[in-house]
Amino acid sequence: MAADRTSKRRPDTGKPERDTGSETAECGWFLAVMMGVVASVAALIAVFLVVAVYDYFASPEAGLLGTLASAGSYLATGIGGFVAGRKSGRRGLICGGLVGLVFASAVLVAGAGSPATVPLTGTTLRRLLLSTIAGGVGGMFGVASS
């Protein structure tokens, strides 16, 4: 009887188990947004390479290239929002929208040269709004897929 009591071990309940390295583990919103911005930059480079190859072989009109570049930028923002939503695991609309806002702001500042020279026109505000929407939609899909 004494041998039965010593052979039974109680589980260690003093420390909770941690998730170490799960691919779908949640991370903080700031890290998720920054990872989404990096993913947006990578996706933008890939999309612009495809547009450049299309321009080289097909020689389309200049107006079409501008439209393709804008659509590719919104697609890249959506991909970044998806990554942010998937990494955060919740609040995909907010994380993805922040990715869109930060990414579009960075693109506008990089295009203008400095933050003081960014023109505040209807086109600029429309770009910020559409990028925020694209990132938010991507973030919602990212949360839904995690």
pLDDT digits (tens, 9 = 90+) for 24-62: 556 788 999 999 999 999 999 999 999 899 888 888 887
| Count of beta carbons in the 10 Å neighbourhood of residue 6 | 7
Is residue 138 within 8 Å of residue 81, measured between CB atoms?
yes
Buried b (16+ CB within 10 A) or exposed e, 98-113: bbbbbbbbebbeeeee
Of 86, 54, 88, 47, the C-alpha closest to 70 is 47
Which two tokens mark 114?
A: 């400095």
Task: Confirm whether pTM is higher than 0.85.
Answer: no
| Count of beta carbons in the 10 Å neighbourhood of residue 50 | 11
State the chain's mean pLDDT as an integer. Answer: 85
Per domain, the residue ranges of the chain are 28-145
Which two tokens mark 83?
A: 């990554």
Taking 90 as the threshold, does the pLDDT of residue 95 lie above it?
yes
Taking 90 as the threshold, does the pLDDT of residue 74 lie above it?
yes
Which two tokens mark 115?
A: 């933050």
Triad 76, 108, 80: Cα angle to 5°: 20
